[in-house]
Amino acid sequence: MSDYAFPDALVTTHRVSEHLNDPKVKLIEVDVDTASYEKGHIAGAIGWNWQTDLNDHVRRDIIDPRAFAELCRAAGITPEDAVVFYGDNNNWFAAWALWQFTYHGHKDVRLMNGGRKKWELEKRPLTTEPPRLAPRSNYPMPASDESVRAYRREVEDSLGRGQVNLVDVRSPDEFTGRIIAPPGMNETAQRGGHIPGAKSIPWSKAANEDGTFKSADELKKLYGDAGVDFSKPTIAYCRIGERSSHTWFVLKFLLGVGNVKNYDGSWTEWGNLVGAPIEKGDVPTTLPNVKCE
């Protein structure tokens, strides 16, 4: 992993196994729910539900700084701890949790390379025993790092200027508008398609069969061949922000792209906006200079 820009952002399964009893390392499994966690998890890992633990319960938004601090306090996390995330789907929701921790200013955040898939392929042990949580901490209410988060106005203002890379990490069928959401997903939008000017680079192309990330050279080629100019700011998006967090992690930590943001509003926001410019395939369905109010 030494060819990555920030190799310490990734932790191998072997290294995780060596630090299961380290009080300064908090291991957290994050998924859309805790069903897999409850069936078996890495010893000592805390289980977080993406929907109920990391999302606002009223607004469609991430938890605010006060709720974030309380979540960390209850888990015994201190600002000095290394927080290592892992989960299913090649770390979809784990990457989203890491992005949110970065947004809330936690310094030492990492992904277990390969997630649950890699751990299980290696036949490493799982347990149903609940973790012994560290004593409640005094985690301070953080300030937000807006440099890693894009909002729809920023996306809108970038249209037609060619100054920002828009990377759509959804499936090709979502990008072209053949489908609005992956099968079985509840959160959807009124319209299908993609943001004008976006490049289609599905998140899954960054991963190997065992769930680990491809090499830095392979990743540079993947994005370079798709037309991503690394000298420009980059905004990644998907449907609800979790797959694009995976791509954001690749660009920021593995390739060292200096200005990359995750648009967590993603398609469930853009595809529901009245008057929003949308393309299906290569054909615009509305004028690209229409503003979203």
Express each pLDDT in 248-266 by its tens digit: 999 999 999 999 999 999 9
What is the band of 1 on the pLDDT scale with cuts at 50, 70, 90? Answer: low
Q: Judge whether residue 291 has pLDDT over 90.
A: no
**CA separation for the pair 136, 77 (Å, rounded):** 8
Average pLDDT, the chain: 93
Q: What is the pLDDT of residue 286?
A: 42
More confident residue, 51 or 287: 51
- List CB contacts of 35: < 8 A, sequence separation 6 or more: none
In this structure, the chain runs to a length of 293
- Amino acid (1-letter code) at residue 276: A
- Euclidean distance between CA atoms 257 and 234, whole angstroms: 8
**How far is it between the farthest Cα atoms of the chain?**
57
Percent of the chain residues past pLDDT 90, beyond the cut: 91
Choosing from 148, 238, 254, 255, which is the catalytic residue?
238
Mean pLDDT of 68-76: 98
Distance in angstroms (rounded) separating the CA atoms of residues 179 and 190: 11
Domains annotated for the chain, with CATH where assigned, are 7-144 (3.40.250.10), 147-284 (3.40.250.10)
Q: Express each pLDDT in 87-112 by its tens digit.
A: 999 999 999 999 999 999 999 999 99
Structure tokens at 167: 């990377």
Which pairing describes strands 283-284 and 279-280: parallel, antiparallel, or unpaired? antiparallel
DSSP classification of residue 207: B
Q: Which two tokens stand for residue 14?
A: 């072997």
292 is catalytic: no
**Which two three-digit tokens encode residue 210?**
């065992």
Per-residue model confidence (pLDDT) at position 11 = 98
pLDDT for 292 equals: 36
Whole-structure pTM value = 0.94
Question: CA 97, CA 80: separation in Å to the nearest integer?
Answer: 17
Residue 177 has pLDDT above 50, yes or no: yes
Q: What is the pLDDT of residue 185?
A: 80
CA distance to 89, 192, 222, 240, 283, per residue, from 182 (Å) = 13, 12, 23, 11, 22
Q: What is the mean pLDDT of residues 169-178?
A: 95
Q: Is the CB of residue 62 less than 8 Å from the CB of residue 264?
A: yes
Q: Rounded distance, CA 179 to CA 202, Å?
A: 15
Question: How would residue 287 be classed by pLDDT, with cut points 50, 70 and 90?
Answer: very low
Cβ contact 228:265 at 8 Å: no
In the chain, the percentage of residues whose pLDDT exceeds 70 is: 95
pLDDT reading at 285 higher than 50: no
pLDDT of residue 281: 74
Provide the pLDDT confidence category of residue 183 given band limits of 50, 70 and 90: confident
Residue 289 has pLDDT above 80, yes or no: no
**pLDDT tens, 215-237?**
999 999 999 999 999 999 999 99
Residue 284 has pLDDT above 90, yes or no: no
The residues facing 167 across adjacent strands are: 199, 236
User: Nearest to residue 30, comparing CAs of 98, 110, 125, 105?
Assistant: 98
Q: What is the pLDDT of residues 5-49, one digit of tens each?
A: 999 999 999 999 999 999 999 999 999 999 999 999 999 999 999
Q: Are 255 and 108 in contact (CB under 8 A)?
A: no
